[in-house]
Structure 1
Amino acid sequence: MKKNLLFIIPSLSAGGGEKSLINLLSQIDYDLYNVDIFLLNHNGLFMEFIPPQVNVLPLPDNYKLFSLSLLKSIYKFLGSKNYKLAINRILYTICIRLNKSVGTNEQYGWKYLSRSLADLAKVYDVSIGFLEKTSIYFCVDRVTAHKKIGWIHNDYDKLESNIAFDEKYFKKLHEILTVSEECATVLKSRFPDQRNKINVIYNIVSPSVINKLSNQMNDVFIRNQGQKIILSVGRLHHQKGFEMAINACEELVKKGNNLKWFVIGEGEERSNLEKLIAQKKLQNHFILLGLKANPYPYIKQCDIYVQTSKFEGKSIALDEAKILCKPIIITNYSTAKDQIKNNINGLIVEMDPSSIAAGIYQLIHNPILKDSLISNLSIENLGTEKEINKLYQLL
């Protein structure tokens, strides 16, 4: 008899956790499992990649109204005489605006947001909150399941969460999964009473799929003779450190390096980054490409892949660049050594523009080092499709 699984995630817009879920769903044996997915937003880059066997649950009507702008939401609730939700919508906005910590906004806002979300009627064998915070809170508060799993995709310490708030929810989970050993170590130190629940399942990536998709487009970059193409992939968010990338680009250009640096991604920092690019007069050198449903031809055709993150769990984009044998530079965030061995399969540099620029300069002007990194990557076994078996064991 098939087991009934539920995955919960806020959206399938661009992001490592979102792509990780799509990769996982593509590997599940649907002869063994019926799979539902609950989303708070049905728009997003990866919606089209949901396997046809997966049932996307409809959005509750009250939540649709709750997610409107404040005035529209209140107007709709008052019009339907739903005064309690009108008050909760006001309290939600006050809570978010008064709370100065971005890290705890999602936590404290859940009290009011959750009232627009009814309990799901179906009983599941396993329910999985696939991202930290809201996904896990929904899994605990609004789902009936024989087993509940929470999945943390980042270094918990960098999320700036209220530990006591999460502790109450983690106690009600049967398993807590994360994406790297370093992330697991952090969780165990912050939640010692839950340490026996904490396990690692790596993000699923498929070299055969990535290589196939990387050949779908030719000449994605237009370059001048001798020009080097640098690429970064990531949400335009403070976490990704793209302001450091822009400053590093400025250093390299001033030293006469012929390069273009492209970024695939979208996010709330776009306007700030565009201002900095204009301020540095780098419009012809640092280009924000926006979202790309298939980023792999861009990765394949770049000369150097650079990740300037301030923190990560386990970066899927980095795994993809490794599979395509790109010379890689990453900043020395807490989990960097989980994915890169310095001077073996990439370079780890300090988290500042000058160090980033120096690493790029080294790969541009030291072909022996660059070829060595590529050669070492080419013999690595980088597929993680078998990680799905770890999940099956838990299920």
Structure 2
Amino acid sequence: MIGETRKKPRVAMLITSLAGGGAEKAVSMLLQGFNPERYELHLIVNRKEGPYLSLLPSYVHVSEMNAPRLRSAWKAYIRTLRQVRPDIVISHMWENNVLNVVGRRLSGLRFGTVLCEHSSISRHRGKGVNMMRRWCYKRADAVVGCSHMMGEELKDILKVPRSLVHVIYNAVLNESFYRRANESVEHHWLQQGMVKGRTSRDSEVLEDTADQAGHLGGLASKIPVLLGLGRLSPEKRYDLLIEAVYLLHQRGHKVRALIIGEGAERERLTQLIGDRGLESWVELPGYASNPLPILRLADIYVQCSDVEGLPTALIEAVALGTSIVATRTATGTEEVLEGIHSALLVPCGDVEAMVDALEAQLEQLDVQQQDNEVPNVPIHSGIGDYTESESSREIAVSYTDSMDTQFQRLNKFTLSYVVEQYEALIRDVLQKHGIEETPLPNNFSPTEAITKEGGTVRRGVSR
């Protein structure tokens, strides 16, 4: 607690659980990236569950509130705060953000509050919710949006003072990214192949992106495989992907689709697959603890969502060089795809536009196969010349051939870069409350520093 002398500041993350979602994955990544010699790390959850729990380092202390409903969890949160006695709490998603601010006021404790938004504010929530958020967010020490458009929404819609708003992208790429992408996958629709590159170091997530010639999904698959990846929830709109497969078949394109994830929409999507007679063409395999090999081997990654904050799977698809068709969501998507190759944007909810874009990507894959080129490699493919026409409303992403630009755009999604941004913000908030961080040893190495040339300084320890 503020006012105490402690060797290390006590930093807590607050989130509902570590179930399989983008915000939950981001929290897990941050806790893996933060330096335990710099902070005493805590995680406060309402429910101690989810696949990302197993990824937490042993030095992270986990507290479970176990409240029946998150909106009535303030008593449990205050009790947990008095046990943990944090110096700063970084909360994620709007209900936890409100809980964080209210908990500080009601607990009588003094600690810094950082609120992180992970979903577009403009696309949902009623006036009452936004009024509540507006009141709370103005009283935080800092509010983080995970994309620049979300930062603008925080200022424009919730009227958060400009001085409180920060933009920090979620960490998606770390030193194990390509190693995990190269793991085997046994699905009978996918052909095995490896992404080239030295996969043991974080730096090679970004290095030699034009050398990913092992991406063999399109060459080896006689029938192209489309991929949807994420929670089976209404806003993900996987019904559009199923309808797109049906319409592509009507146009003479035999394609298959895998939709990896679990959620409340499974029954409805299964019914739609049956109604369209696609039982042999579309599968819902469920949640995958490591979907990267599937994403690597798929021919086209398809984002169908109506709303995204910062689409994790889209960033992963870019890093793996997979061809992309994505909906133009209010936040996040265009920032990820700006200057990135092998991608087409379509309006949200427009299945005809999606089918047209998929057809264009499939035709490009055919050209690459005929020319014995390796498809889905992140070098300029010419798809950027595909423009709007009478029969199509796709919005082509702006393209650039600069590999330096490619590196710079991916670098902002690396764990080392994101940790640096959060460490600077934590330092500012702690100083605001009169807490100075204990200096690290002179021989301490920075957390996973990444260079384009491939040099990596691993998470530091005294040596």
Deviations 1:307-330 (A, max 9, x none): 011111111111111111101110
* Residues 390, 145 of structure 1: alpha-carbon distance in 2 compared, 3 angstrom cutoff: farther
**How far apart, in 1, do the equivalents of 2:425 and 2:110 lie?**
14
Aligned to 1:129: 91
How far apart are the structure 1 equivalents of 2:148 and 2:20?
24
Aligned length: 348
In 2, Cα distance between equivalents of 1:350 and 1:138: 35
Task: Give the distance between the partners of 1:12 and 1:387, measured in 2 at CA.
Answer: 19
2:18 is matched with which residue: 5, 9, 12? 12
Q: CA deviation at 1:289?
A: 1.6
Task: Identify if the C-alpha distance between structure 1 residues 222 and 195 changes in structure 2 by more than 3 Å, giving closer, same or farther.
Answer: same
Matched, 1:323 2:319: yes
Q: Does 1:141 align with 2:145?
A: no
AA partner of residue 124 (structure 1): P
What secondary structure sits across from 1:176 in the alignment?
strand
Is 1:374 paired with 2:378? Answer: yes
Distance 1:207 1:59, change over 3 A: closer
Please name the residue that 2:257 is paired with. 261
5 Å-filtered alignment, 1:108-257, equals: 110=71, 112-115=72-75, 117-119=77-79, 120-121=81-82, 122-133=84-95, 135-143=96-104, 144-161=109-126, 162-206=129-173, 208-222=175-189, 226-257=222-253
Residue 394 (1) aligns with residue 394 (2): no
Distance 1:159 1:285, change over 3 A: same
By how many angstroms is 1:207 displaced?
5.1
* Aligned residue type for 1:146: F
Unaligned runs of 5+ in 2: 1-6, 191-219, 369-373, 381-400, 427-463
Q: 1:249 to 1:145 in 2, by over 3 A?
A: farther
Structure 1 residue 271 displacement after superposition:
1.1
Aligned to 2:353: 355
How far apart in 2 are the matches of 1:124 and 1:33?
A: 11
* 1:339 alignment partner in structure 2: 336
How far the C-alpha of 1:114 sits from its partner, in A, is 3.1
> In the TM superposition, what is the alpha-carbon distance from 1:267 to its structure 2 partner?
1.2
How has the CA–CA distance of structure 1 residues 240 and 225 changed in structure 2, closer, same or farther, with 3 Å as cutoff? closer
CA displacement at 1:225 relative to structure 2? 5.8
Q: Which residue is 1:364 aligned to?
A: 362
Answer yes or no: is the 8 Å Cα contact 2:134–2:159 preserved in 1. no
Residue in 2 that maps onto 1:86? none
Q: Deviations over 1:27-67 (max 9, x none)?
A: 1111100111011111212111112111111435xx3xx36
Q: Report the Cα distance in structure 1 between the residues aligned to 2:346 and 2:424, rounded to whole angstroms.
A: 38
Q: Give SS of 1:187's match.
A: helix
Q: Distance in 2 between matches of 1:344 and 1:187?
A: 30
Residue 18 of structure 1: how far off its partner (Å): 0.7
| Cα distance change on mapping 1:174 and 1:154 into 2, 3 Å | same
Note if contact 2:226-2:300 (Cα within 8 Å) is conserved in structure 1. yes
Query: What amino acid is the match of 1:316?
Result: T
8 Å Cα contact 1:226/1:258 also seen in 2: no
Distance in 1 (CA, whole Å) between partners of 2:232 and 2:283 is 12
Q: Distance in 2 between matches of 1:296 and 1:343?
A: 19
> Is residue 269 of structure 2 the alignment partner of residue 273 of structure 1?
yes
Deviates more, 1:346-355 or 1:318-327: 346-355
Corresponding letter in the other structure for 1:140: V
Indicate conservation of the 8 Å contact 1:176/1:197, yes or no.
yes
Structure 2: distance between partners of 1:187 and 1:238: 24
Alignment CA distance shift 1:205-1:343 (3 Å): closer
* SS of alignment partner, residue 140 of structure 2: coil
Q: Measure the CA separation in 1 of the matches of 2:290 and 2:113.
A: 33
Q: Would the alpha carbon gap of residues 327 and 313 (structure 1) be closer, same or farther in structure 2, given more than 3 Å must change?
A: same
Q: How many Å apart are 1:355 and its aligned residue?
A: 1.1
**Counterpart AA for 1:172:** R
Amino-acid identity (%) = 22
Partner of 1:94: none
- Pick closer, same or farther for the CA change 1:151–1:157 going to 2, 3 Å: same
Please provide the CA RMSD for this pair. Answer: 2.3
1:118 Cα deviation after fit: 4.0
The structure with the greater share of residues assigned to helix is 1
TM normalised by structure 2 equals 0.71
Q: Is contact 1:220-1:297 (8 Å) kept? A: no
**Structure 2 SS opposite 1:256:** coil
TM-score by length of 1: 0.82
Q: Contact 2:10/2:40 (CA < 8 Å) preserved in 1?
A: yes
Q: Could you say if the C-alpha distance between residues 328 and 178 of structure 1 is closer, same or farther in structure 2, counting changes exceeding 3 Å?
A: same
Partner SS, residue 284 of structure 2? strand
Cα shift readout 1:73-116 (whole Å, capped 9, x = no counterpart): xxxxxxxxxxxxxxxxxxxxxxxxxxxxxxxxx7xxx2x44345
- Asked if the contact 2:12–2:90 (Cα under 8 Å) also holds between the matched residues in 1, the reply is yes
Quote how far apart the aligned CAs of 1:342 are.
7.8
